[in-house]
Chain A
Amino acid sequence: MRVMAQMAMVMNLDKCIGCHTCSVTCKQAWTNRTGTEYVWFNNVETRPGQGYPRRYEDQEEWRGGWELNKRGRLALKAGGRLRKLATIFSNPKMPSIQDYYEPWTYDYATLTDAPAQEHTPVARPKSLISGKDMKIEWSSNWDDNLGGSAATALNDPVLRKVSDQVRMEFEQTFMFYLPRICEHCLNPSCAASCPSGAIYKRTEDGVVLVDQDRCRGWRMCVSGCPYKKVYFNHRTGKAEKCTFCFPRVEVGLPTVCAETCVGRLRYIGLVLYDADRVLAAASTPDEHDLYEAQRSVLLDPNDPEVVREAERAGIPHDWVRAAQRSPVHALINTYKVALPLHPEYRTMPMVWYIPPLSPVVDVVRDTGEDAEDSGNLFAAIDALRIPVEYLAELFTAGDVAPVERVLKRLAAMRAYMRDINLGRDPDASIPASVGMEEEQVYDMYRLLALAKYDERYVIPPAHAEQAHSLEEIATECALDYEGGPGMSGPFGEGSGALTPIAVENFQMLQDRQTADSLAAPADKTARVNLLNWDGKGSPRGLFPPRPDDAGSPEHPDGADQR
Chain B
Amino acid sequence: MDVFLWVIVPYLCLATFVVGHFWRYRYDKFGWTTRSSQLYEDRLLRLGSPLFHFGMLGVVGGHVLGLLVPQSWTDALGVSHETYHVVAVIGGLVAGLMAVVGMAILIYRRRTVGPVFSATTVMDKVMYAFLAVVIVLGMWNTIAGSILTVGGEYNYREGVSVWYRSFLAFQPDASLMADAPIGFQLHALVAFGLFALWPFTRLVHVFSAPVGYLTRPYIVYRSRDPKLGSRRQRRGWERVG
Interface of A toward B, CB cutoff 8 Å: 76, 81-82, 84-85, 87-92, 94, 96-97, 127, 129-132, 187-188, 191-192, 194-197, 199-205, 211-219, 232, 234-238, 246-248, 250-251, 314, 316, 462-463, 465-466, 469, 472-474, 477, 480-481, 489-492, 494-498, 500-502, 519-520
Q: From the candidates B41, B114, B212, B241, name the one contacting A197 in the complex (CB within 8 A).
A: B212
B:43-77 near A, CB below 8 Å: 45-46, 49-50, 52-54
B99 to chain A, nearest CB (A): 12
Which residues of A are found within 8 Å of B166, using beta-carbon distances?
none
Which residues of B are found within 8 Å of A131, using beta-carbon distances?
114, 118
Q: Which of B30-38, B154-162, B179-187 contacts A (4 or more CB under 8 A)?
A: B30-38
Which residues of B are found within 8 Å of A248, using beta-carbon distances?
230
Residue pair A498, B121 in contact (C-beta under 8 Å): no
Residue pair A235, B119 in contact (C-beta under 8 Å): yes
Residue pair B30, A250 in contact (C-beta under 8 Å): no
B82 at the interface (CB under 8 A from A): no
Total contacts A to B, CB within 8 angstroms? 201
Q: From the candidates B41, B46, B231, name the one contacting A474 in the complex (CB within 8 A).
A: B231
B208 at the interface (CB under 8 A from A): yes
Known contacts A203-B221, A491-B200, A519-B118; is-contact A232 B36 (Cβ 8 Å)? yes
Q: Which of B10-18, B85-93, B136-144, B232-240 contacts A (4 or more CB under 8 A)?
A: B232-240
B210 at the interface (CB under 8 A from A): yes
Max chain A CB contacts within 10 Å: which of B39, B214, B216, B229? Answer: B39
Which residues of B are found within 8 Å of A501, using beta-carbon distances?
228-230
Known contacts A216-B208, A500-B228; is-contact A84 B30 (Cβ 8 Å)? no
What's the Cα separation between A1 and B113 when bound, in Å?
A: 54
Q: From the candidates B38, B214, B224, name the one contacting A85 in the complex (CB within 8 A).
A: B214
What's the Cα separation between A127 and B40 when bound, in Å?
A: 12
Known contacts A81-B213, A90-B46; is-contact A234 B221 (Cβ 8 Å)? no
Q: From the candidates A91, A238, A477, A489, name the one contacting B231 in the complex (CB within 8 A).
A: A477
Residue of A nearest to B102 (CB): A89
Residue of B nearest to A129 (CB): B115
10 A–B contact pairs at CB < 8 A? A89-B54, A196-B210, A216-B205, A218-B36, A234-B39, A238-B30, A247-B229, A473-B230, A489-B30, A501-B229
For the residues of B in contact with A, the DSSP-based class is loop
Which residues of A are found within 8 Å of B38, using beta-carbon distances?
90-91, 94, 96, 219, 232
Residue pair B216, A217 in contact (C-beta under 8 Å): no
Known contacts A89-B54, A197-B216, A202-B222; is-contact A502 B230 (Cβ 8 Å)? yes
Residue pair A191, B219 in contact (C-beta under 8 Å): yes
Which residues of A are found within 8 Å of B218, using beta-carbon distances?
76, 191-192
B223 at the interface (CB under 8 A from A): yes
B43 to chain A, nearest CB (A): 9
Q: From the candidates B39, B53, B220, name the one contacting A232 in the complex (CB within 8 A).
A: B39
Max chain B CB contacts within 10 Å: which of A89, A97, A195, A490? Answer: A89
What's the Cα separation between A236 and B24 when bound, in Å?
A: 16
B27 at the interface (CB under 8 A from A): yes
Q: From the candidates B50, B119, B233, name the one contacting A234 in the complex (CB within 8 A).
A: B119
B104 at the interface (CB under 8 A from A): no
Q: From the candidates B34, B121, B214, B220, name the one contacting A82 in the complex (CB within 8 A).
A: B214
Residue pair A236, B54 in contact (C-beta under 8 Å): no
What's the Cα separation between A161 and B203 when bound, in Å?
A: 46
What's the Cα separation between A379 and B39 when bound, in Å?
A: 49
A338 to chain B, nearest CB (A): 24
B114 to chain A, nearest CB (A): 4
Known contacts A465-B237, A501-B230; is-contact A237 B34 (Cβ 8 Å)? yes
Residue pair A188, B219 in contact (C-beta under 8 Å): yes
Residue pair B33, A97 in contact (C-beta under 8 Å): no
What's the Cα separation between A219 and B42 when bound, in Å?
A: 13
Q: From the candidates A90, A192, A204, A218, name the one contacting B219 in the complex (CB within 8 A).
A: A192
Residue pair B219, A201 in contact (C-beta under 8 Å): yes
Known contacts A81-B214, A97-B39, A195-B213; is-contact A237 B231 (Cβ 8 Å)? no
Residue of B nearest to A94 (CB): B38
What's the Cα separation between A477 and B29 when bound, in Å?
A: 22
Q: From the candidates A96, A204, A213, A491, name the one contacting B223 in the complex (CB within 8 A).
A: A204
Known contacts A201-B221, A236-B33, A496-B27; is-contact A218 B230 (Cβ 8 Å)? no
B150 at the interface (CB under 8 A from A): no
Residue pair A130, B30 in contact (C-beta under 8 Å): no
What's the Cα separation between A196 and B52 when bound, in Å?
A: 22
Which residues of B are found within 8 Å of A462, using beta-carbon distances?
224, 229
Which residues of A are found within 8 Å of B210, using beta-carbon distances?
85, 88, 195-197, 216, 218
Residue pair A90, B40 in contact (C-beta under 8 Å): no
A315 to chain B, nearest CB (A): 11
Residue pair A497, B50 in contact (C-beta under 8 Å): no
Which residues of A are found within 8 Å of B40, using beta-carbon distances?
96-97, 129, 234
B126 at the interface (CB under 8 A from A): no
Which residues of A are found within 8 Å of B222, using beta-carbon distances?
200-203, 211
B123 at the interface (CB under 8 A from A): yes
Which residues of A are found within 8 Å of B211, using beta-carbon distances?
85
Which residues of B are found within 8 Å of A465, using beta-carbon distances?
237
What's the Cα separation between A202 and B228 when bound, in Å?
A: 12
Kindly list the 5 A-B residue pairs having the minimum CB-CB distance in the complex, ordered from nearest.
A495-B31, A195-B210, A247-B230, A213-B29, A192-B218
Given A131-B118, A197-B210, A494-B30, 6 more A-B residue pairs with CB atoms under 8 Å apart are: A192-B219, A196-B208, A196-B213, A200-B220, A474-B230, A498-B30
Residue of B nearest to A243 (CB): B228
What's the Cα separation between A462 and B38 when bound, in Å?
A: 38
What's the Cα separation between A66 and B196 when bound, in Å?
A: 43
Max chain B CB contacts within 10 Å: which of A197, A480, A491, A519? Answer: A491
B207 to chain A, nearest CB (A): 10
Known contacts A90-B45, A218-B210, A234-B39; is-contact A132 B114 (Cβ 8 Å)? yes
What's the Cα separation between A188 and B220 when bound, in Å?
A: 10
Residue pair B45, A314 in contact (C-beta under 8 Å): no
Residue pair B50, A90 in contact (C-beta under 8 Å): yes
Which residues of B are found within 8 Å of A495, using beta-carbon distances?
28, 30-31
What's the Cα separation between A494 and B213 when bound, in Å?
A: 26
Residue pair B230, A130 in contact (C-beta under 8 Å): no
Residue pair A89, B49 in contact (C-beta under 8 Å): yes
Which residues of B are found within 8 Å of A201, using beta-carbon distances?
219-222
Residue of B nearest to A497 (CB): B27
Which residues of B are found within 8 Å of A191, using beta-carbon distances?
218-220
Which residues of A are found within 8 Å of B219, using beta-carbon distances?
187-188, 191-192, 201
Residue pair A498, B231 in contact (C-beta under 8 Å): no
Which residues of B are found within 8 Å of A491, using beta-carbon distances?
24, 28, 31, 121, 123, 200
Which residues of B are found within 8 Å of A520, using beta-carbon distances?
118-119
Residue pair B31, A234 in contact (C-beta under 8 Å): no
Which residues of B are found within 8 Å of A197, using beta-carbon distances?
210, 212-213, 216, 220
Residue of A nearest to B48 (CB): A90
Residue pair A494, B31 in contact (C-beta under 8 Å): yes
Which residues of B are found within 8 Å of A89, using beta-carbon distances?
49-50, 52-54
Residue of B nearest to A238 (CB): B33
Q: From the candidates A236, A247, A314, A316, name the one contacting B30 in the complex (CB within 8 A).
A: A236
Residue pair A496, B28 in contact (C-beta under 8 Å): yes
